[in-house]
Structure 1
Amino acid sequence: MAASTTGSDRDFREQLGKFRLDPGVAASVTSEHTRTDAQQSRSKRVSTACEFCRKRKKKCDFRYPNCSACTRAGVRCTVLSQGQQIFNASVPRDQLEKLQKRVEWLEHIIRKKTGTDVSDIPTGSAVDGEGELDWWYHVPELIAGNQTAASPGGATDSSSAGSPGIAPELPNIGEIFRDKLENRRPSTARPAAAPPKVLRLSSFEEAQTVANEYFDSLGYQYPFLHRGEFMTNLRRIYNSETVPSDAQFSYHIVMATAVLIGSSDGSMSSSFYNASRETLPLALQNEDLPALRALLSIALYTMFSTSGPSVWHILGTAMRLATSLGLHKAKQPGQTVDLVEDQMGKRAFWSLYNLDRLTATTLGRPVSISDEDITTELPREYDDNWVEAPGACNMSIPVQVVRLRRIFSRIYRAFYSNRPRPSREVVAQMINDFRTELDAWRNNAPLLLSAIHYSTSYFDYLYYTSLLLMYRPSPINPAPDDACIVGCGDSSIQIIRSYWDSYSLGKIKWIWLTLCQIYSAGITILWCIEQNIRALNEGRPVLWEPKDDMVRYGVDAVIVLLEEFGKRRKGVDRLATTFQKQSSAVLSRMVHSPPVIDDVLLMNGPVPEIDPSVVEQLFYAYDWFQDEVATFYTL
């Protein structure tokens, strides 16, 4: 045993010598350990005598440059270095064992926290990108590169090799922002982009029309880009003038998104997107507001596209950048700020907040920042010319949306958590309080004639989706009462009507968010019908009494919309088939039950048993399809 551990004991002796002689380390040891070490040091004292006196085992008087003994003997007075003294000194075995166990424990912690095995790495080596100053600059490669991105250590990720389009995974964002953004280097000016790399439409007027379609739709919801600034750069691009690289990236990604949502020409959208990837590294070269806007633009594009990076990862990256920049914090009193920069920062942060809450609640995932950590104010309602017009300009719409998202976020936290379940009375009071807030929000929402759809229909849609989030079965309210059942049914009908109206006008957006909302509203209608049937079979009156044939129309609309989705998006056929089976099972029970909708549906005969899998999906795994959607869309 002693022979096998000689080498390791020697290493630990050297480390022990450094530990004993380093005052900074010694000061950090607790008083109890200090007393123990002092007792051991008295019994195992390390000699500081010169080499001549030490070998003769005589007391040295430490005279300089030669002690008295060396002077009398006529020899050179030499002293061993501290490392040599410790190396030749005896060390208690139990102390070595303690140090060995502690090193093993620390290596285990490092391996568990970072995934890095340091047991075979020489002491003092750069670990986990410590010597790599440009980790942040590998992010564009992983977002936009077709090839396998290299890790800071030179290794490649075999899991993403050969995958088309965007790399599926991003680097350890937490480490990037901890090590790099907290010690940010000064921002450098982005170079002007070379004109030959710009992809243009046939004319400036056509490009202007496409850009206006973007700002008149997504610009109302996520106003992190300024229309005036964008149009100025657009004109410069079509005049063959050079613009900064971040402006060129913004032009390409906005055009890619606008073409994607405005027409069925997927090839043109892909061309603009591929062009944006050429300037993405320069758009992200600084950890600043333009970089945040670039990430938000990518997130919007990938929400509408069947290819692209995971919107979940992009939003996580963007939120960490935003918090590192302090956009979530209020400015200090008396702090001088530029009006435009301050307001554009607020617009970017609250656009990110809006996307984060929407994505998290739809997929049943945690939000990326707590509301308690946000102290910054909402953006002020400035028009495109920076004239303040509360309730009367385009910014009034996104500000009103964010006000709802803050209520929406509190509803999500209140009902979809693992905290102890309160009493039914407390739950009922929570629902009444939130309903009062939501009604006040809708009643106070501004009406803009210039954006009549977004200030009426869009507000109604947001209002009913918030009600559905509150009323539907949740961990805190798994068995909703009669009022909740009625609220679920009415809200679901209104949500389906909203999507059907958009579909009839050719304005529906065939994206995964739309799919989730339509499917969720559809199964909620079936759930409410099943509650009616159970009440009637138990001799109680019906709970939900929709007007006319709204239930039939609603179910038929969901079936049609899911079938249309299946023609445009891969993987939706399974959801469409599942909903058809669910609706058939529930409606067949409605046919054999007492009057629920109309007398035409009545039939004689026994009530059929409902499929147990349908019961599971409708009542106990209400949002099971979130994993299905996330799988198909790599979210």
Structure 2
Amino acid sequence: MLEEPPAKRTRRSASRGEAARTSQACTSCRERKIKCSGIQPCRYCLKRQFECIFPENVRKKMYSVAYVEDLERLVSSIEERENSNIAIQPERSTVPSSPSPVDQEGLTETGGSSQASPILMDSTMSSSVHFGSRIRGLPTNLNTSIQIAASLPTESPDNVYNLEPDASKVLHNLENIDWPSEEQAHDLLNTVLASIGRVQHLIDPRAFSDRLSSFYDGFPAQNVSDDLWYVEMLMVFSLGGLLQGKLKEGSSFPGADYFLGAINRLPSLCTLRNADTLAVEIMGLFVFFLQCSDRKDDAYVYVSTTKAGVALRLALSNGLARDKTTQAMPRSQKTHRNRLWWTIYMQERRLAAATGNPIGVSDDDITVPLPTDSPGFYSTMALNLNIQIARITGKIIQSVYSHKPTSERRYLRRVQHILSELAQIWKSMPSEYTLNFSQPLTVTRTRATLHLMLFQAMALTTRPILLHLATSKSNGMNIDALLADTSPLQKLSATCIEAAGRSLDMLLALRQQGLLGNS
């Protein structure tokens, strides 16, 4: 290799050193992204007879992370002191014609006194029991509506239908069960599918129907009381009886005898874990039955909690929440697994809200797509609407009922954003599921379920505003200025009241049409 001449090497080293020592470059060199000699005029501009201009030497000041965090806390503190003073307006005659979100413009207004009571943000308040206890804690001399709250029960009635799973360990084999006839069994199955089949998916109807026929062809069976298939069959019968509302003599609740027979034959968690989707189906059926029998806390334990949860954990451990596009399995099985997962997801989200507990899995950890239409299965139209509402319920828990402190303005923006999402679902609902509340309601279970879930989410989002109003009133705040129709908080409270009122209207319509049990 030829050695570089010393003179050339020296000139290049000097040039590099000079460029390295240059603290700034002229505008011409900056624009062309070339090295600048740093003197004025620089060599580049001098050689080309350009005007050599150096920008003013402005020193940048650096701030520590702690200093920036202190400023952010100061800004947050100032915003919190801007809280509005607000009022409660319980009369349904002032409710708007439809549950619409508050205008974004209205949420930028503050107004009123800065001494209003803070909006209480606590994850447990999503539970009606805990929320009711806050209402009961208010003074009873405000107005008639607050006095009514004082007469509410002090706690949620547990086991209102006298279901005692641990007190009925007398069923040793299948012959002890008062089985329905084959015709009655298929009728119970059809009741379950017709009632919830379009908004939930807990069983594969074709596979279950085939197994049901095989069971009656070979009845009576011996020594199979530990077989999970029989547990699932009993749970389908219990749900069918529940939905039909037919109370057997000596039973405390429709379908309770089948439910107790199923729960007493439930095997260990190890057996359940190895049963794949069958175990998930069974746990989902248990959860739904417990929800309907007003044992939400028990249902939450079955579906969600990290230590005690069964349905959600079984679904996760069997990969139902992950997209297994590369795994070879029949199309119908993929469809069933997909719809089963999203049903367990909906159960978990709603029970977490109903009990004031945290959600068990983040949406970011779910990679499985939403259900799509598939031959032999119900249309996904209603199911996907139900899933969308459940997703927003998860957002309500994490946003509206977050324990993290925030300003009232930010809090109201969160509420408005959620109401906008719910309003979009309301507007996009297909005509076959819409309801006209200006005339007597004619409902189906599917139509009523979707609207009940929608209005429940609206009320869940906005009812902390009502408590905020009542608390401010009880603290002696002057709230008259915020009773105007343009007040954002008045609109939110009206939305909450209307959502609750329309839910009652639908329940009444269901009762009048014989779609609710009499028990």
- The TM-score range, normalised by the shorter chain, is 0.5 to 0.7
Counterpart of 1:264 in structure 2: which amino acid?
L
CA distance in 1, matches of 2:214, 2:164: 30
Which one of 203, 227, 252 corresponds to residue 245 of structure 1? 227
Note the C-alpha offset of 1:416: 0.4
CA distance in 2, matches of 1:206, 1:276: 18
Question: The residue matched to 1:222 in structure 2 has which SS?
Answer: coil
Confirm whether residue 408 of structure 1 aligns to residue 393 of structure 2. yes
* 8 Å contact kept, 2:238–2:258: yes
Question: The residue matched to 1:256 in structure 2 has which SS?
Answer: helix
CA distance in 1, matches of 2:500, 2:427: 20
Q: In structure 2, what is the equivalent of residue 83 of structure 1?
A: none
Question: The residue matched to 2:218 in structure 1 has which SS?
Answer: coil
Root-mean-square deviation (CA), in Å? Answer: 3.5
Q: In structure 1, what is the equivalent of residue 255 of structure 2?
A: 269
Q: In structure 2, what is the equivalent of residue 467 of structure 1?
A: 458
Which one of 438, 443, 446 corresponds to residue 430 of structure 2? 446
Alignment of 1:75-474 (within 5 A): 165-167=164-166, 199-201=178-180, 203-240=181-218, 245-262=227-244, 263-265=246-248, 267=251, 269-277=255-263, 279-281=265-267, 284=272, 286-305=274-293, 310-315=298-303, 316-331=309-324, 334-383=326-375, 385-386=376-377, 393-424=378-409, 426-448=410-432, 453-473=444-464
Counterpart of 2:333 in structure 1: which amino acid?
E
Q: In structure 2, what is the equivalent of residue 515 of structure 1?
A: none
Question: The residue matched to 1:259 in structure 2 has which SS?
Answer: helix
Note the C-alpha offset of 1:501: 1.7
* 8 Å contact kept, 1:165–1:307: no
Cα 1:298/1:458, change in 2 over 3 Å: closer
Note the C-alpha offset of 1:415: 0.6
Note the C-alpha offset of 1:481: 1.1
* 8 Å contact kept, 2:272–2:279: yes
Note the C-alpha offset of 1:280: 2.9
CA distance in 1, matches of 2:165, 2:206: 31
CA distance in 2, matches of 1:396, 1:464: 19
Note the C-alpha offset of 1:225: 0.4
Q: In structure 1, what is the equivalent of residue 306 of structure 2?
A: none
Cα 1:301/1:456, change in 2 over 3 Å: closer
Counterpart of 2:413 in structure 1: which amino acid?
Q
CA distance in 2, matches of 1:346, 1:212: 22
Cα 1:411/1:269, change in 2 over 3 Å: closer
* 8 Å contact kept, 1:252–1:272: yes
Query: Structure 2 unaligned runs (5+)?
Result: 1-161, 168-172, 304-308, 434-441, 473-487
Query: Structure 1 unaligned runs (5+)?
Result: 1-162, 169-193, 387-392, 511-567, 569-635
CA distance in 1, matches of 2:163, 2:497: 42
Cα 1:474/1:509, change in 2 over 3 Å: farther
Which structure has the higher relative contact order (CA within 8 Å, separation 6+)? 2
Note the C-alpha offset of 1:494: 0.8
Counterpart of 2:451 in structure 1: which amino acid?
D
* 8 Å contact kept, 1:329–1:375: yes
Counterpart of 1:486 in structure 2: which amino acid?
A
Q: In structure 2, what is the equivalent of residue 76 of structure 1?
A: none
Question: The residue matched to 1:311 in structure 2 has which SS?
Answer: helix
* 8 Å contact kept, 1:285–1:291: yes
* 8 Å contact kept, 2:196–2:446: no
Note the C-alpha offset of 1:473: 1.2
* 8 Å contact kept, 2:296–2:354: no
CA distance in 1, matches of 2:503, 2:489: 21
CA distance in 1, matches of 2:331, 2:420: 35
Q: Which structure carries more helix by proportion?
A: 1
CA distance in 2, matches of 1:274, 1:471: 38
TM-score (norm 2): 0.53
* 8 Å contact kept, 1:166–1:309: no
CA distance in 2, matches of 1:357, 1:306: 17
Q: In structure 2, what is the equivalent of residue 185 of structure 1?
A: none
Cα offsets for 1:24-61 (capped at 9, x unmatched)? xxxxxxxxxxxxxxxxxxxxxxxxxxxxxxxxxxxxxx
Note the C-alpha offset of 1:294: 1.5
CA distance in 2, matches of 1:264, 1:329: 41
Cα offsets for 1:423-446 (capped at 9, x unmatched)? 41x344333332332222122223
Q: After the TM superposition, which of the residue ranges 397-406 and 473-482 deviates more from structure 2?
A: 473-482
Counterpart of 1:166 in structure 2: which amino acid?
P
CA distance in 1, matches of 2:512, 2:418: 33
* 8 Å contact kept, 1:257–1:304: no
Cα 1:233/1:199, change in 2 over 3 Å: farther
CA distance in 2, matches of 1:337, 1:228: 17
CA distance in 2, matches of 1:195, 1:260: 21
Counterpart of 2:215 in structure 1: which amino acid?
I
Cα offsets for 1:334-390 (capped at 9, x unmatched)? 44443222222222221111111111112222112222222221122225x25xxxx
Cα 1:492/1:285, change in 2 over 3 Å: closer
Question: The residue matched to 1:220 in structure 2 has which SS?
Answer: coil
Which one of 503, 508, 527 corresponds to residue 511 of structure 2? 503
CA distance in 2, matches of 1:357, 1:278: 27
* 8 Å contact kept, 2:276–2:318: yes
Cα 1:269/1:335, change in 2 over 3 Å: closer
Cα 1:164/1:468, change in 2 over 3 Å: closer
| Paired positions, count | 314
Note the C-alpha offset of 1:198: 6.9
* 8 Å contact kept, 1:299–1:314: yes
TM-score (norm 1): 0.44
Cα 1:471/1:288, change in 2 over 3 Å: same
CA distance in 2, matches of 1:353, 1:401: 11
Counterpart of 2:229 in structure 1: which amino acid?
A
Cα offsets for 1:483-537 (capped at 9, x unmatched)? 1122122212111111222233343368xxxxxxxxxxxxxxxxxxxxxxxxxxx
* 8 Å contact kept, 2:277–2:337: yes
Note the C-alpha offset of 1:402: 0.5
CA distance in 2, matches of 1:408, 1:307: 20
Note the C-alpha offset of 1:419: 1.6
Note the C-alpha offset of 1:214: 1.1
Note the C-alpha offset of 1:213: 0.7
Cα 1:258/1:455, change in 2 over 3 Å: closer
Structure 1's consecutive aligned runs of 4 or more residues displaced over 4 angstroms after TM superposition are 194-199, 241-244, 306-309, 474-480
